[in-house]
Structures are given as C-alpha cells and as structure tokens.
C-alpha cells in the first residue's frame, strides 16, 4: 500500500522539551513538506524539501528544524524555541513527474504542549 | 493581500441541492490549481486538480478563470457525506510551493 505515514497520531509534551515528528513516504516522491494547521485556520508551510539533503524554510520556520537524509523520510523537530507549538502537524509529498504536482498528505500528528 | 482567498461559509444546504464555491488567487503566475476536501480533524484529501478547460468528476465540476483569477467548485445533488471543509490550493510550479485557502465549510442537511 503506497502512502504517507506520520507517527505518532497524538503527542503530549511539557514546555521546554524538543520533540520530533516522523514522516515517511513510499510514493517515490521527490518533494516533501511540513505544514501546521491551527483550529479554524488554513495550512501554513513550515519547511519543504525538493531533494535529498536539501530543504528550504517556509513561512513559519522559526522554532522548527528538519532533515532530509533519505528520500523517504522528512522528520520535523519542534524545538523549545517555538512559542506556540500546540497544533495539528501535516506532512505531505508531491512528485515532480506529475504535470500538476498534486500533494498527498499523511494523517497528521496532533501535538499538545503544556 | 492573501495568496488565496475563500469564503469561510458555512454553506448550509439541503440534500440534493447544488452548491458552488469560489476561490480567488492573487498571483497571475499561478500555474496549477486544486480542490481538496478536509473532514473534521483529518488530513486534506485531493478532490480534483483543475484543468484550464475545466473538468468534471461525477457530481463535481471545477472551473478555472485565469482572466479574473478565480477557480470554482460546483457540487450537484449534494449528499450528507459531502459535509466537509473544501480547500482551494494554487501552485506556482517554478517554486514548488503550494498556497492554501482557509477553506469553505459545507453542511449538507437531511
């Protein structure tokens, strides 16, 4: 079954702790993305990566870090520097070989920081 | 100005009704256009890519108007299961970034 997996589904952390969210895809897509969604709001881009070992900041990268050591994997670390980390985090991927480059999303991770 | 703007709704319609959503985009360099559906507390799922000539998939029809910089989604014969938030997304292919609207909420009532 091809797709994108994210784990865990729910994550609870204390303020001041770093936390890493997992994202894996077996769609052979080159590009991967991390978004954040807050209640009643649209998706905001945190980071994206078009190719292994390269990534770019999105609109709200402060307080986050990523790595792209393998094509299949794009983990996101939420650091203690992120002021409002509680949110729904969505990972997505897209293929450059598709004319439209549709994005496909994983099921998301709900992070709660108290 | 936001890259992509949508009426947040909610649109409350009876089963069987026809409903239409519009979405405007600000950058004329936008090349690819999509409609996604997002159920409560779930991930967005691709509903349709929007072709320049417009396209139809069953009860769903998408149109693109480049001159006025908007895309539309028409849903015919609404079902209860169509209740969701519909996200408009545009992409400027050169930058490999996608711009999301905040979504339009649809409630289909029995």
Kindly report the three-state secondary structure assignment for every residue of B28-97: CCCCEEEEEEECCCCCEEEEEECCCCCEEECCEEEEEECCCCEEEEEECCCCHHHCEEEEEEEEEHHHCE
Has residue A98 got a pLDDT over 70?
no
- Supply B65's token pair: 């108007």
Model confidence pLDDT, tens digit, residues A40-84:
788 999 999 999 999 999 999 999 999 999 999 999 999 998 989
Model confidence pLDDT, tens digit, residues B37-55:
999 999 999 999 998 888 9
Model confidence pLDDT, tens digit, residues A42-53:
899 999 999 999
Has residue B94 got a pLDDT over 80?
no
Q: Which of residues 20-49 of A touch B (CB under 8 A)?
A: 31, 33, 35, 40-43, 45, 48
C-beta of residue A16 within 8 angstroms of C-beta of residue A84: no
A53-81 burial, b if ≥16 CB within 10 A, otherwise e?
A: eebeebeebeebbbebeebbebbbebeee
- Predicted pLDDT of residue B30: 84
Distance from the Cα of A19 to chain B's closest Cα (Å) equals 21
Has residue B2 got a pLDDT over 90?
no
Going by the DSSP 8-state scheme, the letter that residue B10 receives in this structure is: -
Q: Using an 8 Å CB-CB cutoff, list chain A residues near B97.
A: 45, 48, 58
Residues comprising chain B, all counted: 110
SS3 A98: coil
- What is the chain B residue with the closest CA to A88? B41
- Predicted pLDDT of residue B92: 80
Going by the DSSP 8-state scheme, the letter that residue A22 receives in this structure is: E
Chain B positions with Cβ closer than 8 Å to A: 32, 34, 41-46, 49, 87, 89, 91, 93, 96-98, 100-103
- Percent of chain A beyond pLDDT 70? 95
- Predicted pLDDT of residue A2: 67
Q: CA dihedral in degrees (A23, A26, A31, A34; nearest 10)?
A: -20
């Amino acid at each position: 079954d091809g797709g994108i997996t994210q784990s865990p589904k729910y994550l609870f952390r204390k303020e001041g702790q770093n936390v890493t969210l997992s994202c894996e895809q077996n769609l052979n897509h080159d590009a991967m993305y991390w978004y954040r969604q807050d209640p009643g709001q649209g998706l905001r881009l945190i980071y994206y990566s078009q190719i292994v070992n390269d990534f770019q900041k999105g609109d709200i990268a402060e307080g986050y870090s990523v790595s792209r050591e393998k094509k299949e994997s794009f983990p996101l670390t939420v650091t203690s520097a992120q002021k409002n980390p509680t949110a729904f985090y969505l990972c997505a991927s897209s293929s450059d070989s598709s004319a439209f480059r549709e994005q496909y999303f994983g099921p998301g991770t709900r992070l709660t920081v108290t | 100005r936001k890259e992509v703007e949508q009426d947040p709704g909610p649109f409350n319609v009876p089963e069987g009704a026809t409903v239409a959503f519009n979405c405007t985009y600000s950058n004329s360099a936008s090349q690819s256009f999509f409609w996604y559906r997002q159920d409560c507390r779930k991930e967005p799922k691709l509903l349709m890519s929007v072709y320049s000539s417009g396209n139809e998939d069953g009860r769903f029809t998408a149109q693109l108007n480049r001159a006025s910089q908007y895309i539309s989604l028409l849903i015919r014969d609404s079902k209860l299961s169509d209740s969701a938030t519909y996200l408009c997304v545009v992409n400027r292919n050169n930058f490999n970034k996608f711009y999301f609207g905040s979504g339009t909420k649809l409630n289909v009532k029995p």
